């Protein structure tokens, strides 16, 4: 059936069932069956009597084959598991990891029924508009270094969105990506480890790409690339570019063994620095965000005591910017 797709893609216009059949040495009935199967996979194929079949919007195709085909990265996204519907791609990658899947294995969903964010919050993952992906990492690092991976994920996504759009996405430490004052991207990194050894890491990335409208409770805090730019973007390209960018950052991090080489770029892209923030821990406190440390933590100056403190994993909100 993919041979039919190749014929349609190459033609770029209508091709009759007869002609496709001739080219592939199959019957017209077989062509029709193949077309139906392609449609079930999400390919939009127009059929007009006396003209034949035509592939519509080939650039928007979003499935396993398309994602694997135009891949630029070596390992990240080499194997793609595509789900029309799943609870959470992080769950799928975790299962695949436990079954021995290779680093770089990628899960992508068209719809997540139980997409989750950090701290047990739900992550809205409707059909057709967003990128919901998880990628498997097997870094040879100690668990304490793993939070840096999340920062690298933020850098990779930020770079891709800066290159693909006219927007100015910025990272809210550690790894949310905002456009303007609203969140467009969230990253949930989950780890399976022992005290001294990381078994594997699942990096889950959610991007509101072509979302035209959010439910009322999210309208003030969430945005999409479409809402900010008025343009739609091919999700396939976004996924492939992120895999390429993430692989580059990840390999450079493993080679360097520290976050130091990325600090300057991270600081430049980080909207949190210089701002007044609220740090939520056991006792929430107000502080000014001063810098990012070599380990990727946030250095702040407390408003109450005037003392400097390093913030590790605590949730930080920027005053005046919705969480």
Binding of ligand BTN at residue 225 (CB under 6 A)? no
How many residues touch ligand BTN under the rule CB under 6 A: the total is 21
Angle at Cα 209 formed by Cα 77 and Cα 322, nearest 5°? Answer: 115
Provide the H-helix boundaries in 43-135: 64-69, 89-98
**Which residue from 53, 62, 82, 132 is in contact with ligand BTN, where contact means CB under 6 A?**
132
- Binding part of the chain for ligand BTN, among 25-33, 52-60, 198-206, 274-282 by CB under 6 A, reads 198-206
Q: Which of 71, 94, 116, 172 binds ligand BTN (CB under 6 A)?
A: 116
C-alpha 140/C-alpha 198 separation (Å) is: 7
Smaller CB distance to ligand BTN: residue 159 or 176? 176
158 vs 245: CA distance, rounded Å: 10
Per-residue DSSP letter, 270: B
Q: What is the rounded CA–CA span in Å between residue 109 and residue 126?
A: 10
Q: Show the site string, 57-96: x = touches ligand BTN by CB under 6 A, - = not.
A: -------------------------------xxx------
Q: Smallest distance from the beta carbon of 171 to ligand BTN, in angstroms?
A: 12
Q: Is 136 in the site for ligand BTN (CB under 6 A)?
A: no
Determine, following the binding rule CB under 6 A, whether residue 123 of this chain makes contact with ligand BTN: yes
Stretch that binds ligand BTN, among 11-19, 94-102, 117-125, 254-262 (CB under 6 A): 117-125
Report the distance separating Cα 12 and Cα 162, nearest Å: 30
Neighbours of 297 (CB within 10 A): 21
118 binds ligand BTN (CB under 6 A): yes
**Where are the strands (E) in the chain, listed by range?**
45-48, 52-55, 80-83, 106-109, 130-137, 170-172, 176-179, 182-193, 198-208, 276-280, 285-292, 298-302, 308-311, 315-318
Task: Find the binder of ligand BTN among 204, 239, 244, 247 (CB under 6 A).
Answer: 204
Under rule CB under 6 A, which residues in 163-192 are in contact with ligand BTN?
176, 186-188
Report the interface residues with ligand BTN, using CB under 6 A.
88-90, 112, 115-118, 121, 123, 125, 132-134, 176, 186-188, 204-206
């Amino acid at each position: 059936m993919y041979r039919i797709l190749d014929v349609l893609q190459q033609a770029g216009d209508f091709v009759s069932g007869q002609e496709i059949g001739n080219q592939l040495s199959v019957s017209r009935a077989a062509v029709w069956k193949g077309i139906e199967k392609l449609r079930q996979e999400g390919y939009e194929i127009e059929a007009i009597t006396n003209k034949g079949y035509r592939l519509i919007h080939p650039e928007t195709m979003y499935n396993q084959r398309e994602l694997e085909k135009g891949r630029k990265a070596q390992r990240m996204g080499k194997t793609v598991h595509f789900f029309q519907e799943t609870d959470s791609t992080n769950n799928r990658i975790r299962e695949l990891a436990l079954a021995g899947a290779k680093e770089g294995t990628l899960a992508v969903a068209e719809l997540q029924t139980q997409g989750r964010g950090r701290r047990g919050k739900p992550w809205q993952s409707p059909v057709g508009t967003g990128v919901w992906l998880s990628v498997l990492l097997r870094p040879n690092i100690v668990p304490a270094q793993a939070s840096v991976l999340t920062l690298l994920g933020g850098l990779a996504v930020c770079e891709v969105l800066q290159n693909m759009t006219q927007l100015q996405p910025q990272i809210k430490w550690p790894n949310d990506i905002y456009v303007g004052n609203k969140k467009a991207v969230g990253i949930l990194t989950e780890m399976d480890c022992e005290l001294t050894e990381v078994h594997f890491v699942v990096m889950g990335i959610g991007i509101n790409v072509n979302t035209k409208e959010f439910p009322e409770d999210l309208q003030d805090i969430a945005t999409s690339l479409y809402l900010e730019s008025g343009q739609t973007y091919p999700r396939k390209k976004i996924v492939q570019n992120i895999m390429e960018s993430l692989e580059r950052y990840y390999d450079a991090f493993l080679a360097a063994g520290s976050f130091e080489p990325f600090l300057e770029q991270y600081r430049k892209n980080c909207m949190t620095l210089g701002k007044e923030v609220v740090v939520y821990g056991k006792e929430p406190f107000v502080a000014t965000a001063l810098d990012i440390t070599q380990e990727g933590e946030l250095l702040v100056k407390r408003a109450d005591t005037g003392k400097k403190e390093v913030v590790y994993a605590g949730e930080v909100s920027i005053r005046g910017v919705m969480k």
